[in-house]
Amino acid sequence: MKSKFVFIASWTESIIHFRGELVKQVLDAGMEVHFIAPFLPVDAEVRNQLEARGVTCHPVRFDRGSVNPFRDILLLFRLFRLIKEIEPEYVFSYTIKPVIYGSAAAFLAGVPKIYSLITGLGLTFNNSGLAQTFVKHISSTLYKAALWANRGVFFQNPDDLKVFTDTRITTTEKSIVVNGSGVDTESYRLQSLPDTAHFLMIARFLINKGFREYVKAAKIVKAEYPEATFSLVGFIDDSSNAIFQHELDDVIKDGSVNYIGRLRSVKEQIALADIIVLPSYHEGTPRSILEGMSMGRAVITTDVAGCRSTVVDGLNGVLIEARSVNSLVAAMILLIKDRSLVAEMGRKSRMIAEEKFDVQIVTRSIIDGMGIKISNAKQRSNENYWE
């Protein structure tokens, strides 16, 4: 009888884009794979791709932005009932609600091997103020209770691990740092650079992603260097931290930044650019930067948790001060003026991506951390595996 493995996620689209190789390797290990996620009508393509590979999908609503305790209790009950019915050997959760309520439900259901991936600490651990301190205390308490039942906890950068161990949410003994979600360096291949500076930001349009800083900096630099190009790929998320629609409308109307919109694949846009920009306030390890690095792009990002793990300042990019338009403007102008530096940083980015962030290396760290043996995972991931 096959061992059963349950993934739990609150964002369906992340399953293939961020965890596709991990799902593939668990399938390669001969396990029966189940995925608990929202699976909304808009996610039909993702669900079809998973089910075509033999993955069983279970729709569960997570209400990511809700803090209603009654809804969360109901979520816990639904997860418990579903996990109890599946009877898995492994449960692997990522993002805050799946980690907290998925781990708790798995423990109550008697699952022997429970693991979690902390993909970033988000607003909860990075904002100040009385209300936020209270929310942080509640979140820390819930995390601590949930992770107690985990055999292992994976972190995408050492800064987040330090926060969790310093506050005794979890222990160093059960903690493992992996290099983000990884990037398929064979799929995201090295590309030639454009002749003139082309900056690209790929992100959900949130305040804490540095959307406003990027737009303001682009307008300032564009006025002095009109030949430079600034592009923006992404969408307005349903988060309380999202920008307003009128802000995006103003960006489109102004014309300093080329608004590309939401894309299924960002490879073409990365190929057109030569500098990836992410002025985020905090991250796990940003996937957009890893994809840009793999394609040989220089990086401008902030000196904060997660982002600083991708860039050696001056080697493959520039680290800037978070929330600082002036710092971002200075970095942009530096790379506009020195095109040879951009090319050299791009070469170093590709090298770092291959040696540190390749998805095979990252996935192997997670698989080994869970003690899973894979006898037939001998070939690299095919970029069309999920097509």
**Does 98 share its domain with 238?**
no
Domain presence at residue 246: yes
Q: How far apart are the first and last CA of the chain?
A: 29
Domain presence at residue 149: yes
Domain presence at residue 145: yes
Q: List Cβ neighbours of 142 (8 Å cut-off, separation of 6 or more).
A: 100
**Does 226 share its domain with 214?**
yes
pLDDT of residue 133: 66
Domain presence at residue 150: yes
State the sign of the Cα–Cα–Cα–Cα dihedral 208, 211, 212, 214.
positive
Number of domain units in the chain = 2
**How many CB atoms within 10 Å of residue 182?**
29
**Does 203 share its domain with 177?**
no
Domain presence at residue 88: yes
pLDDT of residue 241: 86
**Does 40 share its domain with 24?**
yes
pLDDT of residue 378: 46
**Residue 2 pLDDT level (bands cut at 50, 70, 90):** confident
Domain presence at residue 374: no
pLDDT of residue 345: 98
**Does 144 share its domain with 26?**
yes
Give the tens place of pLDDT for each residue, 311-322: 999 999 999 999
Share of the chain above pLDDT 90, in %: 83
Share of the chain above pLDDT 70, in %: 93
**Does 163 share its domain with 32?**
yes
For residue 364, CA distances in Å to 90, 277, 299, 359 come to: 17, 29, 26, 8
**Does 156 share its domain with 219?**
no
**Residue 377 pLDDT level (bands cut at 50, 70, 90):** very low
**Does 313 share its domain with 336?**
yes
Q: List Cβ neighbours of 313 (8 Å cut-off, separation of 6 or more).
A: 303, 319
**Domain hosting residue 73, numbered range:** 4-182+358-369
pLDDT of residue 63: 79
Domain presence at residue 20: yes
B/e letters for 270-306, b = 16+ CB within 10 Å, e = fewer, are: bbbbbbbbbbbbbbbbbbbbbbbbbbbbbbbbbebbb
pLDDT of residue 231: 98
Looking at residue 344, which CATH number applies to its domain?
3.40.50.2000
pTM: 0.89
Domain presence at residue 189: no
**Does 348 share its domain with 365?**
no
Residue 83: is its pLDDT beyond 50? yes
Residue 216: is its pLDDT beyond 70? yes
**Does 122 share its domain with 262?**
no
pLDDT of residue 303: 97
**Residue 341 pLDDT level (bands cut at 50, 70, 90):** very high
**Does 309 share its domain with 269?**
yes
When mean pLDDT is compared across 200-209, 234-243, 292-301, 324-333, the lowest value belongs to 234-243
Residue 152: is its pLDDT beyond 70? yes
Considering only CA atoms, which of 58, 67, 14, 17 is closest in space to residue 39?
Answer: 58
3-state secondary structure of 233: strand
**Does 146 share its domain with 245?**
no
pLDDT of residue 66: 67
